[in-house]
Structure 1
Amino acid sequence: MEVRTSLPMEREPCVLALGNFDGVHLGHRRLLEHGLEQASRLDVGLDVLIFEPHPLKVLFPEQGVKLLSTSQERLFYMEEIGVRTVYHLPFTLEMANTSPEEFVEKILLPLGVIHVVVGFNYSFGAQGKGNPELLQVLGQKHGFGVSVLQAQTLSGRVISSSSIRKALLQGDIELASALLGRQPCLRGTVIHGEERGRKLGYPTANIFTSEDFLIPKRGVYAVWSMMDGRRVFGMMNIGKKPTFHEMYDTVVEVHFFDFKGDLYDQEISVFIEHRLRDERKFNGIQELLAQLENDCANAKAVLGL
């Protein structure tokens, strides 16, 4: 799969999927699969157009939208699905002020679109005035087809990035996993922490995550990661260390059950299987150690160890 950060010099006929695709959840997958069906019918490739950064971060920075996936993760899943080319174009205030007609003429047509696939709530152009209905009108004018996919649901729930964010912030890992179609993942770099866990017999990898990405509700989770080609299981704590600090930043730390090695400065992905409990403040080290032992047993039971 090719990744481009600018419009092509020459038009190459394509079916184009439009959206941000944060998380590449089941709804996104259905849209991309429909795009592949259209591409096969028309004997062309399926391309995707994504604006970076997320338009909401430019238009409404005060909202502080947190993302579900990194650019690398999105690209991995899109390549897995069968996308030919992903266009990562910069989203600026100038782009935000482009009219719907200019958006089609200056961006879509140079990409060589012969068919466009969008979700029912896709908007484009200045002040979001462009909607799927207008896109269909402009498609008729310029000679490309438009497919509009309605909301995808799972057990009566609409599948959306916002609903997945809400589930994670509530600690509902099962719901988030169902809507994503896979386990939620936290990706970050292992950094030095207070090393208190090592002294207690539970060494942890402290993970520094980008402030752009969503961290689930504070608490303890059963997790796994891939290390040296094998799956390594563990438990993760997301919290502010209330037993030891009155005030502390939220940290992410993972204790792996069967791993010995130096992870410092390495980037790792941690896949979340289940939320075990809320964060708690303990009355001393012994009470904390007893709970950690219990957490360890519960995590192993959940993970089938």
Structure 2
Amino acid sequence: MRIVSLSYPVSAEIAKEAAEPKVAAIGQFDGLHQGHASVLTTAINIARENGVPAALITFYPHPKDVIGKGNYEGYLTPQPDKQRLLEEMGIDILYIVEFNKEFSQISPDTFVEEMLFPLNLQTAVVGFDFRFGHKGAGDAAELQKLGDGKMSVVTVPPFLVDGEKVGSSAIRIALKTGKLSDANRWFGRNYHIRGSVIHGEKRGRKIGFPTANLELTDPYVVPALGVYAVRARMDHQDNWIPGVMNVGVKPTFHEGITKPIFEVHLFDYDGDLYNQFMTVDLVQYIRKEHKFESVQELVEWIQRDADEARKILNASESKF
């Protein structure tokens, strides 16, 4: 997959390199959930049928990060994760448009004339709720009109799971309220985070449950505080290791911590993980974080959580 960084307006050099006709999906696609996948798959299929490259035009940073609209915090799929998933899906060219205050002010017709036409789009593929231009003034119908015969537009309808429309906002709420099963169902995969293993307080080692403390590589959406059944993998490994993760503020030992700490205990693993990068798949939410009256009570609960996580992960493995 070729990655091209763009800024407004598209330069003559980029336009010259983009002379080949192409089909492009357009959108933010934070999450790359099943609804997004339906748009991208449509674009890829049309591109393959016409023998042209399949592209994606997306924006970074997230527009809501720049204009401060809505309750927005963190990414469901940070840019490095998005790039990996897009390549696996079959996108040939990824255009990353720098989203800034100036770009947020352009009109729909300027967006088409100075951003899309120079990229020589044969077909633009968008979701049913696609909006573009200053204050979202343009929609799919407007995009078709502005295409003026030079560019066709395909609008993909809502993607439904169990009768519910899949959307990033609903996934964010599900993650933050402990409804991980809903989030994963709408994703079509397990939500994951990635971080480097750093030194912690090493208290887990003393009580028989050593943990890898993660410093996240990107500003992920932080899921509900609590305990999760997980699978983890280091960058240099192919196999997933079962485990249990606590996302929390250690209320048994501390007061006043506000930034969540990610601690992963891997089952039957004895190796040095410090300074390695770990990807953690969140398989199932087990319980909320508790404050315990004693270390012994904490140890007993950790053992219960570990046993529960093993059962969950064994059951999920048997489905495949």
Partner-residue secondary structure (3-state), 1:223:
strand
Q: Does the 8 A contact of 2:24 with 2:56 survive in 1?
A: yes
| Structure 1 residues 88-127: aligned runs within 5 Å | 88-127=96-135
Distance 1:64 1:33 in 2: 27
Q: Secondary structure at the match of 2:303?
A: helix
Q: CA deviation at 1:43?
A: 2.2
1:278 to 274, 288, 299: 288
In structure 2, the partner of 1:255 is 265
Give the match for residue 57 of structure 2.
Answer: 49
Partner of 1:287: 297
Equivalences for 1:42-81 in 2 at 5 Å? 42-60=50-68, 63-81=71-89
Correspondence for 2:193 among 181, 186, 197? 186
* Percentage of matched positions with identical amino acids: 37
Structure 1: gaps spanning 5 or more residues: none
One-letter amino acid matched to 2:29: F
Alpha-carbon displacement from aligned partner over 1:49-74 (angstroms, at most 9, x marks no partner): 11110011001167443211121211
Structure 1 position 214, deviation (Å): 0.6
Does structure 2 retain, via aligned residues, the 8 Å contact 1:233–1:257?
yes
Q: Give unpaired runs (5+ residues) of structure 2.
A: 316-320
Name the structure 2 match of 1:219.
226
Residue 212 of structure 1 and its aligned partner are, at CA, apart by 2.6
**2:272 counterpart letter in structure 1:** D
2:268 counterpart of 1:237: no
1:196 positional shift: 0.7
CA distance in 2, matches of 1:15, 1:60: 31
Aligned positions, number: 304
Deviations 1:129-180 (A, max 9, x none): 11111101111x1511001112111001111111111111111121111100
Does the residue aligned with 2:113 lie in a helix, a strand or coil?
helix
2:5 aligns with 5
Match of 1:302 among 312, 315, 318: 312
Report the CA distance between 1:41 and its aligned residue: 3.0
| Secondary structure class of the residue paired with 1:48 | strand
Which position in structure 1 is the counterpart of 2:143?
A: 135
Distance in 1, Cα, partners of 2:60 & 2:304: 44
Matched, 1:168 2:171: no
The TM-score with structure 1 as length reference comes to 0.96
Report the more deviating stretch, 37-46 or 51-60. 37-46
Distance 1:301 1:63 in 2: 36
- Name the SS of the counterpart of 1:17 in structure 2: strand
Could you tell me the TM-score, scaled by structure 2's length?
A: 0.91
Deviation, structure 1 residue 278 = 1.0
CA distance in 1: counterparts of 2:32 and 2:72, whole angstroms: 20
1:261-297, Cα deviation, whole Å (9 max, x unpaired): 2222222110011111111111101111111111111
Please list every run of at least 4 consecutive aligned residues from structure 1 whose deviation after the TM superposition is greater than 4 angstroms.
none
1:27-57 Cα offsets, whole Å, 9 max, x none, are: 1111111112221232211100111100110
Give distance in 2, aligned partners of 1:282 and 1:85: 52
SS of residue matched to 1:216: coil
Q: State whether structure 2 residue 95 is matched by structure 1 residue 87.
A: yes
How far, CA to CA, are the matches of 1:180 and 1:121 in structure 2? 18
Query: How big is the alpha-carbon RMSD for the aligned residues of Structure 1 and Structure 2?
Result: 1.5
CA contact (8 A) 1:56 1:65 kept: no
Specify the SS of the correspondent of 1:303. Answer: helix
SS at match of 1:246: coil
Quick one: which of 21, 24, 40 aligns to 2:48? 40
